[in-house]
Every structure is written in C-alpha cells, then in structure tokens.
Amino acid sequence: MAKVIVGATPFEGHVGPVLTIAADLVRRGHEVVVYTGSRFEARALAIGARFQALPPDADLDDRRLDSLFPLRATLPPGPAQLSFDFETFFLGQLPAQVRGLRALLARFPADVVLGELGFWSIPVLSLSAAPRERPTLVTLGSIPLLIQSEDAPAFGPGLLPTSGEEARARNRAMNAEVRRLFADLQSFGEATLRSLGVPMPEYLFDVPFRRTDHYLQLTVPGFEYPRGDLPGHLRFVGTLPPTPSSSYAEPAWWPELSAGRPVVVVTQGTVANNDLTELIVPTVRALADLDVLVVAATARADGPELVRQALGDVPDNVRLAGFVPFDRLLPHADALVTNGGYGGVQTALYYGVPLVVAGVSEDKPEVAARVEWSGTGVNLRTGRPAVTEVRVAVRTVLRDPGYRSQAAIMAKEIGQHSPFDAIAEIVDAAARR
C-alpha cells in the first residue's frame, strides 16, 4: 500500500479529474489524502480518501471569482486574462500552497504526490530536492499541451499545425513572440520561485511539463498535434472514463432518446454556464424546426427555467434539463454542441460522439482546433455563435458520415488506453522504492 497526496488548484475543472483518480487509488487499497479547497471536502471523504484543506490564503472558491476579483471580468480572453489568472490564482497562491503541502508531508510522508497542471507545488518539490529525497511526482494534463515546440503553433489562438521547415520557422518565431508577450509574468514567476528558494529554470509555461517525474496527458495521441521534441517522461495515457451514475432518476422524456430521431445534446459545461444565451439558447433556436431531438443539458438547477425565460416558447423538439450524467446521456447522442471544455470533449470522444465546438475563453480555442484538426467535429471559432452558424454546423456533422467515423476511430484509440492502470503502475513502483 502506498501513501499518496492528490493535490489540485481549488477550481472545479482542476479538482474533478484528480478526484476521479483518487477514487481509483482508494479502491486499489492505497492511502490517499486529497489536498485542495475546503469546499471539496465532502466529495473527497465520500470516495474514501482523507482530506486536507489548502491554507486559508490559498483556499479560493471558483464560483465567486468575479465578485472576489471584479477586475478579471473586465479583461478580454487571451494574454491579459491569462496573466491575471496566473499572477492571482496559480503563482499568487503558490507560497501558501507549498507551505501547506510541506506541513502535510511532515505528517504524512507520501510516496507519491500527484496533481494537475495548475498545481505548481509539484515543480517546486522537483526543484527543491533530488528524486531519491522526495516523493515521486506525477502531473496530469487535463488541457491541450501548451509546452512550446517547433512542431506546433504557440498555444492560445487555436491555430492549426502545418508541416515543413517554413512552418517550424513560423512556430519558433511565434514562441519567441509569446515569451516576449509574457515577459512580465515570467519575471513575476521568477520572483515567486526565488521566494520559495528555487530557481525558474526555463520559460514559465514549460516548467510544469519539465519539472516532474511523470507527465501524463489525459488523452490519446490521435487528439494531439504530433511533436518530435516532447520530454521523455511525457506520455499519453488515455481519457478518464466518466464516473458511473447510479442514483439518477430518468425524466419522463428519456424513452424519446431511443425513438429514432437523431439526438443532439448541447451544453456549456459545469463552469462557463453563467450566461446560457452564449450557446444553449442559440442552439435551441437553430434546431427548432429540424427533425431532431434536442437535449439542453444546462448543468445547473435553475438552467431550464432560465432557458425558458430567454426563449419565451420552448420548441416541441427540445427537452430542458439541469444536471444529466453524460455516462447515461451521451451513448444516445448523435452530436454534441459544446463550448469546448477539455473534459467534456474527451467524454464525447470516449463514446464516439462527433462535435460542434464554440468557445473562446481559457483553453477552449485550442480544444476546438484539435477537434477540427482530428476531423471529429466542426470548430465555430466563436464563443457566441449566430443561430445560422449552429444550424449549418449541426446539419453538417449529422449528414457527413466522416465526422462520426473519425469520432469512432478516436473512441477505439481511447479504448486501448487505461489511465487508471498507468497511474497505478507508477504508484506501485514508488511504494517499492
């Protein structure tokens, strides 16, 4: 049995994957402590893990970011918002996060510390001691690869890769421009790491990829741009399977999912769903007169009523829902319209469901670009599409069998990987050290 600390930035999209992995490690008999925001304590205890909250000055609540940090809401998606997020939520909270982790390690000498990409305590531990003098470090990649490479465009705008020396020269120039663009953030990061007694050994955004023992990307190679210069400890381990739902009460319309009409699911995910007029409402309007069944999964209890208010009249072919488990819904779906959250897209591909993607914040343009590049769906290249854009894209995905074929190929590749087994092998090896 190994001792494992599972850490995460206290945001839903960061915590969800590590809790899934923590649950599997508990089932395998390992002793697991979840180290993240206090609002996730009940969920950690429910899977049989122990829990340690982040220190108060790092214990953020991502449901209140706009009220706690009103400046953020005024920043456009892109470099300005990304710099703010790193200075405030990742590097800004890092000293307290590291302090709490070191105190936890003194009480619970873990064999493994596992965290997601934003859990910067892992590179700090890596830079602080030799491998034999610290736990084995495992980092999970739950967004597209943002490590710089001459084989792929710079992360951010969602550019598609091209091949050849001219493309590599362009990529090198873009990488240099990005480093210049984030020079102030680089300086902030260097000062933060110096305060913790460690150097900043390379470009800021490359550090979490290079300063860990195992970097495990939660997808398959077929969904990521090919690169010949990735670190040797970075490998693709496949998509996390959806958590099985056991207590969901199927609504009265559930049999309609198997009635023969194509089923189109639309969602804005569990985080970026404050304004349902961005994607859900336009999609409902776009598909109102098509011979399809539309399931609007709003992922919030008041979501159906908000959509009703925005629409006035709900079309006859639309079913409004709050929280619907995707492990139950997506096996019935013929297409998913989504704002491009990485986890939701991976879940759709797990079931071989082709996509229509509309997202512009955080990593969503990069997710959408990979959907386009892999042939598994249509990239609308906007976060607030027009009704006609959604209508054309959905009809294209439903009518062109190539999209479903490519999604099925991706599902087959996903089925050949087991992230749980890959992580368990690392944990078992660490316990034998």
Please spell the DSSP secondary structure of 159-219, one letter per residue: PPP--SHHHHHHHHHHHHHHHHHTHHHHHHHHHHHHHTT----S-GGGHHHHSSSEEEESS
d(CA 101, CA 104): 5
Same domain, 214 and 319: no
Same domain, 265 and 212: no
d(CA 63, CA 271): 8
Domain span including residue 88: 3-238+417-431
Q: What is the CATH number of the domain that holds 334?
A: 3.40.50.2000
Same domain, 33 and 170: yes
d(CA 306, CA 248): 22
Task: Indicate whether 312 belongs to any domain.
Answer: yes
Same domain, 43 and 141: yes
Same domain, 96 and 171: yes
pLDDT recorded at residue 272: 67
pLDDT recorded at residue 74: 84
Same domain, 176 and 299: no
Beta carbons of 50 and 56 less than 8 angstroms apart: no
Number of domains in the chain: 2
Same domain, 406 and 274: yes
Task: Indicate whether 249 belongs to any domain.
Answer: no
Same domain, 367 and 261: yes
Task: Indicate whether 152 belongs to any domain.
Answer: yes
Task: Indicate whether 336 belongs to any domain.
Answer: yes
Same domain, 233 and 297: no
pLDDT in tens, the chain (433 residues): 999 999 999 998 899 999 999 999 999 999 999 999 999 999 999 999 999 999 999 998 877 777 778 888 788 877 888 888 889 889 999 999 999 999 999 999 999 999 999 999 999 999 999 999 999 999 999 999 999 999 999 998 899 999 999 999 999 999 999 999 999 999 999 999 999 999 999 999 999 999 999 999 999 999 999 999 999 999 999 999 988 887 888 999 999 999 999 999 999 877 666 788 889 999 999 999 999 999 999 888 888 899 898 998 999 999 999 889 999 999 999 999 999 999 999 999 999 999 999 988 888 999 999 999 999 999 999 989 999 999 999 999 999 999 999 999 999 999 999 999 999 999 999 998 7
Same domain, 50 and 123: yes
Same domain, 337 and 382: yes
Same domain, 265 and 277: yes
pLDDT recorded at residue 138: 98
